[in-house]
Amino acid sequence: MWVDESSGYQPVDRAAEPHRWCEAVYSDRVIVTQWDDGTVAWPQVGHRPTCSASMPSAVLGMLDVLDVQPGHRVLEIGTGTGYNAALLAEYLGDDQVSTIEVDPVLAGQAQARLTEAGYQPTVICDDGAAGHQPTAPFDRVLATATVRVGELPYPWVAQTTLGGRIVVPMRTEITSGPVVAFTVHADGTASGHPMPLYVGFMELRAQRSPLGDLNGLRWDDPDADTTSTTELAPWTVFNNLDPRWAVGIRLRGCRWWHWPPTRKRPHVLWLIDTHSRSWATAAYGRDPGPYPVRQHGPRRLWEEAEAAYHWWTQNGKPPVEAWEFLITPDQQHHHLTP
């Protein structure tokens, strides 16, 4: 496993460092158990964590939102290590819990761990986006992978009982966001509100965003399509979750990075659309604006981000909790509550 330290993720070998391993396992921290779908060999650190043991506080927080009661049938999306499934099986009984994992290696490992610990929930190796009709309907559905706003898999709604609850962490390409609790209604729709709980889980594999690549790009590229300035301080757009969430909902298909200053350059905020290869930079330092902006490609990403930020301010700077989500069989909507 790999533990998040101040210097980045570091490998911890259970056999070689049992005390350090035990300390990490029983701490309230994230432990990565797989990188890049298992293509990265121990003890190397990869580019994308693809399985982890989540912070126990996050696990318990989501289970609290799920509000399982004796007799409930539960579907978990994303078995991972099997820890969540074990907790649910302990409370509800093996027959009431189904857990689905897309990675066959992870599914097999989780099944073995659960059996060794004395639990026998139904473990399925399949794409969790489709739910699991053979063991439906469910009173509760719990996703331990983040879902992009506007793309919650409708089978989760269709396989949930009337009044049932779906708990899922939501995200945009720009930022992870809140855990949202959805309630299923008689007309086949589900509506949800953000909970005061924020997690940074891995993406549902069917919805992964490209990692993006800044190689070969220059923040001060003289060949940028447009150069301009902005009076809007770049850090005000992305440093806080509330504006970043609103910008992310409106600025689809875009990721961002921050480059800290060096002796040769100021702070640089990057925006990149990996599909169209559009990019934008906004540079800033200690001096007040205006701040230089460069944009390249078919999209003017900084202009889009600035427009989204002004939309947020014009609507009263709503917090993340002010959003509401509606899932129908054909469409998905999000809007601010009055």
* Residue type at 22 in one-letter notation: C
User: Going along 149-266, which residue ranges are E strands?
Assistant: 160-171, 176-184, 190-198, 226-230, 255-259
Nearest of 158, 297, 284 to residue 230 by alpha carbon: 284
8 Å CB contact between 332 and 152 = yes
CB 119, CB 90: distance < 8 Å = yes
CA distance 314 to 308: 10
Reference 202, options 40, 8, 76, 52; nearest CA is 52
What is the pairing mode between strands 138-143 and 160-171? Answer: parallel
- Give dist(CA 92, CA 81) in Å, integer: 19
Q: Would you state the structure tokens that stand for residue 31, as one six-digit string?
A: 């432990």
Residue 325: CB atoms within 10 Å: 20
Tokens of 215: 């190689």
- Rounded CA-CA distance 182/140 in Å is 10
- Grouping H, G, I as helix, E, B as strand and the rest as coil, residue 138 is strand
**Class of residue 93 by CB neighbours under 10 A (exposed 0-12, middle 13-18, buried 19+):** middle
User: What radius of gyration, in Å, describes the C-alpha atoms of the chain?
Assistant: 22
250 CB burial (10 A radius; 0-12, 13-18, 19+): middle
Which one of the listed residues 7, 27, 52, 191 is annotated catalytic? Answer: 52
Examine the residue annotation and report whether 276 is marked as an active-site residue of this protein. Answer: no
Q: Of the candidates 176, 211, 76, which has an alpha carbon nearest to the alpha carbon of residue 132?
A: 76
**Residues with a known catalytic role:** 52
